Amino acid sequence: MNTVLVVHHAPSPRLRRILEALEGGLAHPDLEGVAVESVPALATTDDHVLRADGYVLLTPANFGYMSGALKHFFDRTYYTCEGAVAGRPYALCVHGDDDTSGAVTSVERITTGWGLRRVAPAVRLTGEPDRGDLDAASEVASTVAAHLLG
């Protein structure tokens, strides 16, 4: 069975709703055969990363950058997982009050270094997430799982 790891930092009600949408997209009945492991960024270990076949990343945009929690996750796991995860699919979802570009760029630099394969453009959400935003988050997560199923 393939596994998608959702690495997230969701400290606010808005981000928790987005996280629920991501997890809901991975629970779609057409994605039978894909297990989901959803772990807060500060609790994610090398073993989580190495066991997973694909990744969904969720972060707020804080001061023009990814959250400190997601950055700490990458700092802890980068060199241990470098080379071992190349080619695996991933998607990114970023939420900010007004601008997400710095956060997206910073995450994409690291995922490029790991050699991950982006399977959809980053979902960039600002303000209060509406139904369309949550649907976009759900869709991007299911895209990662669909790539694992071939």
Task: Check: CB of residue 97 under 8 Å from CB of residue 127.
Answer: yes
- Of 93, 87, 94, residue with least CA distance to 112: 87
State yes or no: pLDDT of 150 exceeds 90. no
Q: How far is CA 150 from CA 31, 107, 145, in A?
A: 11, 25, 9
Q: Average of pLDDT values for 68-97? A: 97
pLDDT (tens digit, 9 = 90+) per residue, 36-79?
999 999 999 999 999 999 999 999 999 999 999 999 999 999 99
**pLDDT attached to residue 134:** 98
Domain of residue 119 covers 2-149
Q: DSSP states of 38-50 as a string?
A: EEEGGG--HHHHH
pLDDT (tens digit, 9 = 90+) per residue, 116-141?
999 999 999 999 999 999 999 999 99
What span, in angstroms and rounded, lies between the C-alpha atoms of 117 and 40?
22
pTM for this prediction: 0.97
Q: What percent of the chain has pLDDT over 70?
A: 100
State yes or no: pLDDT of 30 exceeds 90. no
- List the CATH number of the domain containing 110: 3.40.50.360
